[in-house]
Structure 1
């Protein structure tokens, strides 16, 4: 079975995830910029230390437009004891970042690919402050899914959502399964025509072929005391579906029926 993923050190961002038919499952804009200061438009950007726009921090925080590091040189996938291919990426505060968010932390992201092609992202964020101060943050995996029809989508933040979410692509008879841990909320977003035209790194009419469904923690911010660690995880997979012929029950699907 052929599966493929691509991860950039810039933003620790997954920009490609393909199935056994070599079909791309993530959306990346044709006008995406892959260098500072803009975040990459598509794939799976990381929103940290905030989701949205508040205070002096840039929108969705700075993790998605910083260069991350890895212990391997050159960066490469390793194999875990469970036969998963993975790469570990690390973000630590710079002097410039400390001016806008005065905290010490270590953000470790593991991106792994399972034997059946499932894509897993596991984030561990630790408070490494030496001044005894806690810090608070919000977080989201800003996942851009490649879809064929967004006509029935509604933008919304959903609070206290189930740990399993199904995204149904009627035309391709494909269902994305999103499973999340440590992330109680979910956000659904599409810019639609007017907003898409105002986004310079978004191609013409591309909004019709993407949908962001984000595993998130936005309602109740996470607070860590020095030495404490938070873990948030999402797993993405796909299954064939016959929804367009009215035979698929999404709830039954996610229960394994």
Structure 2
């Protein structure tokens, strides 16, 4: 079931719910997911307590869209401008099949004359956000409605809620190459068996598997990120010093969040006129009591 409500400040948001009790909240501003609660009403996504929640201001947290760029290039807004636009409900999301047996909303953004000043390409960007028991699915699509080809980078920035960042590990990225944004984007190869956290991290892992696991030991919960069409994965936590320098971020917020983003960054996506690109991301939260070491979590999660 999907309901559209108006916040006290007049900002519209969509509430998705499903029979066992989990919910998702999506802002029309930026098509941003700002809440995903399980059937126990536990919040799965991180949103800072210092979020401004003002019309015309994106919220730091949840799941946000980075398009047509991820990093800062020229005068364009970082990371892209679509997170700063009001989206509309998409009444005809063809050719996607009808969203039967799922609580779903389809959103759409078309480029405007104002957008062409910062990025001179006409496009349509669509998002399908679907909720089912234990799973949140996001399907982004970009169509080239221009008369000439263009290319872009894309990311879904996932702020995951964790109990204690020092008790979290990420599996599925070992042995991969990555760009380290803290070291002038130098390229390295991951040497650790799993990624753990004891300081600031800002990396883009390349050619990642379709499954990545974020294991929260204290909560005995694992996020499983499955993705298609987005071969890279960005991992970010600002740690203490950087957290204090971010205006809309609490000084202690870094302890309870981790960004693991689905992305296509190293190789831009190229579209000819009338062509469409489609990605897919599934976030699943599962019990991970098996992390005691009695079972191999890679086998439980289905890693190859």
Query: Do they fold alike, i.e. is TM over 0.5?
Result: yes
TM-superposed deviation, 1:171: 0.1
Alpha-carbon distance, 1:249 to partner: 2.2
d(CA) in 1 for partners of 2:295, 2:264: 30
Q: How far, CA to CA, are the matches of 1:39 and 1:243 in structure 2?
A: 37
Higher relative contact order (Cα pairs below 8 Å, separated by 6+ residues): 1
Partners of 1:171 and 1:44 in 2: CA distance: 23
Q: In the alignment, is residue 145 of structure 1 matched against residue 160 of structure 2?
A: yes
Q: CA deviation at 1:174?
A: 0.2
The answer to whether structure 1 residue 124 and structure 2 residue 176 are counterparts is: no
Distance of 2:135 and 2:42 partners within structure 1: 14
| CA offsets 1:92-140 (integer angstroms, 9 cap, x no match) | 11221110101110001000012x23100001100001xx311110000
Which TM-score applies when normalising by structure 2?
0.78
Contact persistence 2:154–2:263 (CA under 8 A): yes
Query: Residue in 2 aligned with 1:50?
Result: 69
C-alpha contact (below 8 Å) 2:127/2:138 kept by paired residues = yes
Count of matched residue positions in the alignment of Structure 1 and Structure 2: 248
What CA distance in whole angstroms lies between the structure 2 residues aligned with 1:98 and 1:122?
25
Q: Are the equivalent residues in 2 in contact too, given 1:167–1:177 (CA < 8 A)?
A: yes
CA contact (8 A) 1:92 1:105 kept: yes
Paired with 2:259 and 2:293, the residues of 1 have a C-alpha distance of: 24
Contact kept, 8 Å, 1:10 with 1:35, in 2: the verdict is no
Give the secondary structure class of the aligned counterpart of 1:148. Answer: coil
Give the match for residue 84 of structure 1. Answer: 102
Q: Give 1:67's match in structure 2, choosing from 86, 95, 103.
A: 86
Match of 1:102 among 112, 120, 129: 120
Alpha-carbon RMSD across the aligned residues, in angstroms, is: 1.8
Bigger strand share: 2
Which sections of structure 1, spanning at least 5 residues, go unmatched? 73-78
